[in-house]
């Protein structure tokens, strides 16, 4: 529209010719043209300024929306992380992995989520995924203690003991009071048959947490390897309460120790506790049968071996042990039957072969 006005004024100037020039009207027309252009420019600049302000405002609003949206996403990621951690502690590893994966999808830089997912993968023995997640967590946060502990535990289960020890060393360097790293490093030393070093680590774990039952259990295993039976019994007795998850293992191992020490009454007591905890555990009956055999309670021994055989009829040693009781009672025909059953399962079973010779000799001499 402004360009149209300018053109009209120029045409009018041409039509009036020289007479207009002599009247002095040209400057007025020129001035009108100039004023019109300046007015147009002013309007244009005003519109540009308003448009620019509108764009800035729109960008600001959009950024605020993005900031709010990102904050919500991060908050949601942290929520998934906490749910995943709780599921891990409850040993619901598959469910934990799903929640932690949700956390990672919302925030791919959440190192703790990778670390806990690595621990969860360890729980289901998926060590390939566990090592990948632990490495990712460490790359995101090189000071994350649980990431080194998780990777160390993975390496421990992959039988890469030196790498495991290196990871546990780093975890302890970052946090000298991280009890789990001492216990796990002790396990690595235990596997490397460095029993004294293992005991030092288990001692430190117990010092940091006197209620850490697993450390007592593991220290007992180290003492067992050193054949320090009194300390094994002490750890299983004092360190493992009756309501713990490790009480079954404690009774089982302690019953063997009592048997080795020829304390058959205590061995029988522990086997009886095992049977109370799990009536379908055949070794508890067999071991109690052996203790009764050494106490010369042959009838009770036969009952125990018979129960063990009913629970697991494919164990050659159960038949051979019952044969030993029959031999002591001079019931040679049954002893022979048991020895033959044992040798059918395991033709190279030395005790069964020896008992068979005794039984056959006894049958010839006694006629039974």
What is the per-residue pLDDT across 294-304, written as a single tens digit (0 to 9) for each?
999 999 999 99
**Considering the chain, what percentage of its residues have pLDDT values greater than 90?**
73
Handedness of CA 243, 89, 119, 124 (dihedral sign): positive
Is residue 280 situated within a structural domain? yes
Q: Characterize 271-308 residue by residue with b for buried, 16 or more Cβ atoms within 10 angstroms of its Cβ, and e for exposed.
A: bebbbeeeeebbbbbbbbbbbbbeeebbebbbbbbebb
Q: Are residues 320 and 365 in the same domain?
A: yes
Is residue 346 situated within a structural domain? yes
Residues of the domain holding 333? 313-368
Q: Cα 145 to the chain's mean position, in Å?
A: 14
* Domain termination site, one of 251, 277, 300: 300
pTM above 0.85, yes or no: no
- What is the per-residue pLDDT for 189? 98
Segment 169-176 mean pLDDT: 98
- What is the per-residue pLDDT for 283? 97
Is residue 225 situated within a structural domain? no
Segment 360-368 mean pLDDT: 81
- What is the per-residue pLDDT for 69? 74
CATH label of the domain that carries residue 268: 1.25.40
Segment 248-272 mean pLDDT: 93
Whether 167 shows a pLDDT value over 70: the answer reads yes
Segment 42-52 mean pLDDT: 52
How many CB atoms neighbour CB 83 within 10 A?
17
- What is the per-residue pLDDT for 74? 86
- What is the per-residue pLDDT for 57? 54
d(CA 159, CA 187): 11
Whether 193 shows a pLDDT value over 70: the answer reads yes
Torsion, CA 308, CA 312, CA 315, CA 317, rounded to 10: 0
Question: How many CA atoms lie less than 13 Å away from 38 in the CB half-sphere?
Answer: 6
What is the per-residue pLDDT across 195-225, written as a single tens digit (0 to 9) for each?
999 999 999 999 999 999 999 999 999 999 9
d(CA 36, CA 24): 19
Whether 23 shows a pLDDT value over 50: the answer reads no
Whether 118 shows a pLDDT value over 50: the answer reads yes
d(CA 152, CA 129): 14
Whether 21 shows a pLDDT value over 70: the answer reads no
- What is the per-residue pLDDT for 22? 42
Q: Are residues 338 and 295 in the same domain?
A: no
Whether 233 shows a pLDDT value over 60: the answer reads yes
Is residue 105 situated within a structural domain? no
Q: Are residues 288 and 318 in the same domain?
A: no
Segment 254-279 mean pLDDT: 95
Q: Are residues 296 and 321 in the same domain?
A: no
Q: What is the mean pLDDT of the chain?
A: 85
Q: Are residues 286 and 334 in the same domain?
A: no
- What is the per-residue pLDDT for 50? 55
- DSSP label at 211? T
Count of domains observed in the chain: 2
Is residue 334 situated within a structural domain? yes
Q: Are residues 333 and 361 in the same domain?
A: yes
- What is the per-residue pLDDT for 117? 97
CATH label of the domain that carries residue 328: 1.25.40.10
Residue 349 pLDDT grade (very low, low, confident, very high; cuts 50, 70, 90): very high
Residue bearing the bigger pLDDT, 60 or 34:
60
Whether 120 shows a pLDDT value over 80: the answer reads yes
């Amino acid at each position: 529209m402004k360009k149209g006005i300018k053109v009209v004024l120029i045409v009018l100037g041409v039509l009036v010719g020289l007479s207009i020039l002599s009247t002095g009207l040209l400057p007025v027309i020129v001035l009108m043209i100039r004023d019109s252009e300046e007015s147009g420019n002013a309007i244009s600049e005003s519109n540009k300024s308003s448009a620019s302000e509108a764009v800035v405002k729109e960008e600001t609003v959009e950024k605020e929306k993005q900031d709010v949206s990102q904050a919500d996403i991060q908050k949601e990621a942290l929520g998934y992380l906490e749910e995943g951690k709780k599921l891990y502690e409850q040993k619901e590893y598959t469910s934990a992995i799903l929640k932690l994966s949700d956390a990672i999808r919302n925030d791919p830089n959440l190192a703790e989520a990778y670390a806990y997912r690595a621990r969860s993968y360890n729980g289901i023995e998926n060590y390939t995924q566990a090592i990948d997640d632990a490495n990712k967590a460490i790359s995101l946060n090189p000071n994350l203690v649980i990431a080194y502990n998780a990777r160390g535990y993975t390496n421990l289960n992959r039988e890469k003991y030196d790498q495991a020890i290196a990871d546990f060393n780093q975890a302890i360097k970052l946090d000298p009071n991280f009890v789990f790293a001492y216990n796990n490093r002790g396990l690595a030393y235990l596997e490397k048959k460095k029993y004294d070093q293992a005991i030092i680590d288990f001692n430190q774990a117990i010092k940091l947490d006197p209620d850490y039952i697993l450390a007592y259990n593991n220290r007992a295993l180290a003492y067992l390897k050193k054949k320090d039976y009194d300390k094994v019994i002490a750890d299983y007795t004092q360190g493992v309460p009756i309501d713990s998850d490790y009480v079954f293992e404690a009774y089982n191992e302690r019953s063997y120790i009592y048997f080795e020490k020829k304390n058959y009454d205590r061995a029988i007591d522990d086997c009886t506790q095992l049977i109370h905890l799990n009536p379908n555990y055949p070794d508890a009956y067999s071991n109690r049968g052996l203790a009764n055999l050494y106490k010369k309670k042959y009838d009770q021994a036969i009952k125990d071996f018979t129960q063990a055989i009913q629970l697991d009829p494919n164990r050659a040693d159960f038949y051979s042990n019952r044969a030993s009781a029959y031999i002591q009672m001079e019931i040679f025909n049954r002893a022979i039957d048991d020895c033959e059953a044992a040798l059918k399962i395991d033709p190279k079973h030395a005790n069964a072969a020896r008992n068979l010779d005794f039984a056959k000799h006894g049958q010839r001499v006694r006629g039974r």
